[in-house]
A and B are shown apart, each in its own frame.
Chain A
Amino acid sequence: MPDLWDLLDSVMDPEIPVISLYELGVLQDISRNGETVELVLTPTYIGCPALGIMEEDARAALTAGGYDQVTVETRLAPAWTTAWLTPEARRKMSAYGVASPEAGSIACPQCGSTDSKIISEFGSTACKALFRCVACHEPFDVFKAL
């Protein structure tokens, strides 16, 4: 049987498919209880429609790896925060075109300039805002600091 963490490292965020659920901080814990695999997920945003898809994707990956019995617990506390994103995850997101606020400054994923303006508090998903780079004029998504 493949290692549980190896299996779940391949389950990516449905909206930002370059970072895994673990890197995102949604996948909090995996444990075995006899034949059953127990997953603990925490939602990024309460109303995030992707959480259901994340759960399905994680189940599918485990089933494909031979683990049939999976239970999923949704844990609210401690509340998810962007502070859980690792520097590696932030780098991957930036390369994918989504900036993440770090220490208060936002770097344009295209040109790296930190001179940007907000277009909208809400971008293509609940977890993102829309910015425009003043230097290169390109619009880009920013993972909202939460």
Chain B
Amino acid sequence: MKLKDPLTRYVVQLGDDALIMGHRLSEWMSRAPFLEEDIALSNVALDFVGRARLFYQYGAELMGGEVTENTFAYQRDVRDFTNLLLCELPRGDFAFTLSRQFLYDAFSLPFTQALCKSTDSRLAAIAAKAEKESRYHLRRSRDWMLRLGDGTAESHERCQNALEQLWIYTDEMFERDALLDGLIASGIAVDPASLRLTWLETVTETLHAATLTLPEPQGGVTGGREGIHTDDLGFLLAEMQFMQRAYPGLQW
């Protein structure tokens, strides 16, 4: 499924980020360290899947015809997904999941705030809803960074290890490509590069408070926006899409 219209590509890209992040979070359901955290992770997963639905519904309207939100989620293959690699990495341990969440939430909040000003009124409306939730998500994931980083020797080590592993995937959030250039010029898309300083300030402040060390800058891994993914996304899709692949159009 090749998308051509720039707005549709952008909308679906935002949906992909949200869906893949939401799916990774949903994998914790019934596996979290304790009940409250199980509920919290599932709730944040719901927020992201809900966000994906709003973007995909909009994308489906822009495409017209037989395309629905489910087409984007269930009937595209790995190379069609344009989510950030950060979102698709396996959930790892609890420290890895929460560190990923923190690094993404610290980006997602200023991103949704900026998207509220999009010249596309539908995107602005979705962003106005998402922004409130991102504020909440960031408060929670920041709190976990403090608890894990400034917790026991083991939680500190796991959290620091997670940050070191995740760091090379953070550059991609701020990358501009040809698609964005055009949409930024028309005021539709957010220029992610403009959010980098805000993000870095949040991350630096939090890691310092959590007695964690900011990882050394490394060359960033990118490719998600062009459909070049890690091996892990294929396995995620195999599980997520199984039912619709085996029984196309199935409803229950």
Q: Find out whether the CB atom of A77 lies under 8 angstroms from the CB atom of B128.
A: yes
Q: Find out whether the CB atom of A121 lies under 8 angstroms from the CB atom of B136.
A: yes
Q: Which residues of A contact B146 (CB under 8 A)?
A: none
Q: Residue B133 contacts which of A45, A76, A119 (CB distance < 8 angstroms)?
A: A45
Instruction: Say which size band chain A's interface belongs to.
Output: 20 to 34
What is the bound-complex CA distance between A121 and B53, given in angstroms?
A: 24
Across the interface, name the chain B residue whose C-beta is closest to A121.
B140
What is the distance, in angstroms, from A116's C-beta to the closest C-beta of chain B? Answer: 16
Given contacts A76-B126, A76-B129, whether A46 and B36 have CB atoms under 8 Å apart is: no
Question: Is A26 among interface residues, defined by CB-CB distance under 8 A?
Answer: no
Question: Is A101 among interface residues, defined by CB-CB distance under 8 A?
Answer: no
Q: Which residues of B contact A47 (CB under 8 A)?
A: 43, 45-51
What is the distance, in angstroms, from A83's C-beta to the closest C-beta of chain B? Answer: 12
Q: Which residues of A contact B50 (CB under 8 A)?
A: 43, 45-48
Q: Which residues of A contact B124 (CB under 8 A)?
A: 77
What is the bound-complex CA distance between A49 and B46, given in angstroms?
A: 8
Across the interface, name the chain B residue whose C-beta is closest to A49.
B46
Q: Find out whether the CB atom of A122 lies under 8 angstroms from the CB atom of B36.
A: yes
Which A residues from 38 to 96 make CB contacts under 8 A with B?
43, 45-49, 76-81
**Which positions in A face B, CB cutoff 8 Å?**
43, 45-49, 76-81, 119-126, 130, 144, 146
Q: Which residues of B contact A144 (CB under 8 A)?
A: 136
Q: Which residues of A contact B46 (CB under 8 A)?
A: 45, 47-49, 126
Q: Find out whether the CB atom of A122 lies under 8 angstroms from the CB atom of B43.
A: yes
Question: How many contacts A-B (CB < 8 Å)?
Answer: 68
Across the interface, name the chain A residue whose C-beta is closest to B22.
A47
Which B residues from 35 to 80 make CB contacts under 8 A with A?
36-37, 39-40, 43-51, 53-54
Given contacts A47-B47, A47-B51, whether A123 and B39 have CB atoms under 8 Å apart is: yes
Across the interface, name the chain A residue whose C-beta is closest to B37.
A120
**Size of the chain B interface, CB-CB below 8 angstroms:** 28
By secondary structure, the A interface counts as loop
Q: Find out whether the CB atom of B129 lies under 8 angstroms from the CB atom of A46.
A: yes
27 A-B residue pairings within 8 Å (CB atoms): A43-B129, A45-B50, A46-B50, A46-B54, A46-B129, A46-B130, A47-B45, A47-B47, A47-B49, A47-B50, A48-B46, A49-B46, A76-B125, A76-B126, A76-B128, A77-B128, A78-B128, A79-B129, A80-B129, A81-B132, A121-B136, A122-B36, A122-B39, A122-B44, A123-B39, A130-B36, A146-B133
What is the bound-complex CA distance between A146 and B53, given in angstroms?
A: 21
Across the interface, name the chain A residue whose C-beta is closest to B49.
A47
What is the bound-complex CA distance between A63 and B101, given in angstroms?
A: 44
- B48, B133, B143, most chain A CB atoms within 10 A: B133
What is the distance, in angstroms, from A55's C-beta to the closest C-beta of chain B? Answer: 14
What is the distance, in angstroms, from A131's C-beta to the closest C-beta of chain B? Answer: 12
Across the interface, name the chain B residue whose C-beta is closest to A81.
B132
* Closest CB pairs A-B (n = 9): A47-B50, A47-B46, A46-B50, A120-B36, A77-B125, A122-B40, A76-B125, A79-B128, A122-B43
What is the distance, in angstroms, from A56's C-beta to the closest C-beta of chain B? Answer: 16
Q: Which residues of A contact B37 (CB under 8 A)?
A: 120
Question: Is B139 among interface residues, defined by CB-CB distance under 8 A?
Answer: yes
Q: Which residues of B contact A45 (CB under 8 A)?
A: 46-47, 50, 133
- A47, A125, A144, most chain B CB atoms within 10 A: A47
What is the bound-complex CA distance between A123 and B37, given in angstroms?
A: 10
What is the bound-complex CA distance between A21 and B231, given in angstroms?
A: 45
What is the bound-complex CA distance between A107 and B53, given in angstroms?
A: 36
Q: Find out whether the CB atom of B40 lies under 8 angstroms from the CB atom of A46.
A: no
Across the interface, name the chain A residue whose C-beta is closest to B44.
A122
Q: Which residues of B contact A78 (CB under 8 A)?
A: 128
